[in-house]
Amino acid sequence: MGFCYNYYPGKVLNNKMLKKLHTYIIKEFLNYFFFGLAVFSIFFLLNNLFDFISLFLSRSVPPFLILKLLALIIPKILMSTIPMAILLGILTSYGRLSEDNEITAMKSSGINYKTLTFPTIILVCIIFLFLLFCNHFMAPAATLNFRNFYKEIIIKRPLFKLTEKTINEIGSYRLYANKINHKNNTLSGVSIYKFDNKTSTKNYRAYASSAIIKSYPNVIQITLYNGYLLRVHPSDMDTMTHIAFKTYSFFITLYNEIKDDDLLILGMSSPEISRTIRVCKNLDIPYNEYEIELWIRWIFAFASIAFTLIALPIGLMTGKSGKGTGFGISLGIILIYYLLTILVIDLGKERYMPTGLVMCVPNIIVTILGIYLFAKMKKK
């Protein structure tokens, strides 16, 4: 049921009535906010979710490990989805109030726009403070834990990333296997290739009827059985070595199995990134990637404020079109905003303009448009 109005136009609201009104508006907003947060977060999780399901179904990784990996990527996802959910929550909740003529009833009862928007603005400010903490500290810590935990799984379960009848990349090696037993780390019908044309190391191909993989800290040992090894020197294709063997072992470093450079930056707290930038400046070392990551955390946090400024006037002015229009408008704004964000990130990488200035462009545009709509709304 909608809010009940037991007072007359021009009558001043007492504290009890005002509290009831604010509670009603906050409840409406939170319903759609959490709905949007769930929908957007699931959408962002889908790519990782399929990988995690594959780990569980075909690679025998225990469910509790999958859930732990899943939990560790959620803070990073919240950086993007919380501002989206705020936009959707405001547009849809106020759109619903407008559609049911509740906004009209409130205004006719002497309630101004300040009273209507005050509880939502206060709540968004609280969410904004949480988002600042999440972006600068919680998400980096979770990403670092994800990196370390993912490495631990690789070391303990070296075959969990390998797929049957597919060329699998392991460092500078390419491995193909007809069958893979993930429970005892054995393979059959194995072909292994290595290409390294930048050094004097000879390229080679190995084939074996079977193989066993054993794991050690940061490396795995592959032991091949009943096969042959073919070596070719890149600078002299006429020189070829063909060796048949019953048993042949070699080691592959697992450190590069995770994109450490990317995850290392994402796993750094903002104070750590700031210190790294200062060191790089003193040593005249490129630091653009660190600077971009730092600004991304700021602009995604302030996106919640910018989205609030543009969503409130739109939601209050939707009229009979209601929450359906609010939902469509929110998706349109999100699409344009994040496309623009991708553009400014690319511009920031090229350093055509100061990184901080160019990275703030999406929020500046949305904020200016929101202030304009607020001014237009007050004139009505």
In this model, does residue 104 exceed pLDDT 80? Answer: no
Whole-Å CA distances, 326 to 25, 163, 310: 16, 45, 12
| Stretch 127-146: mean pLDDT | 93
Whole-model pTM: value is 0.73
> How far, in Å, CA of 101 to CA of 60, rounded?
55
Runs of H (alpha helix) within the chain:
15-58, 63-99, 102-108, 113-133, 139-156, 260-266, 270-283, 288-317, 322-350, 355-359, 361-379
DSSP 191-206: EEEE--TTSSPPEEEE
In this model, does residue 6 exceed pLDDT 50? Answer: no
Q: Which of 61-70, 138-147, 209-218, 323-332 has the highest mean pLDDT?
A: 138-147
Domain ranges of the chain: 15-155+283-379, 168-253
Mean residue pLDDT of the chain comes to 80
* Stretch among 27-41, 254-268, 315-329 having the lowest mean pLDDT: 254-268
Give the percent of the chain with pLDDT over 90: 25
| Stretch 170-191: mean pLDDT | 84
Any idea what the Cα angle at residue 361 is, between residues 358 and 365, rounded to 5°?
A: 165
In this model, does residue 177 exceed pLDDT 50? Answer: yes
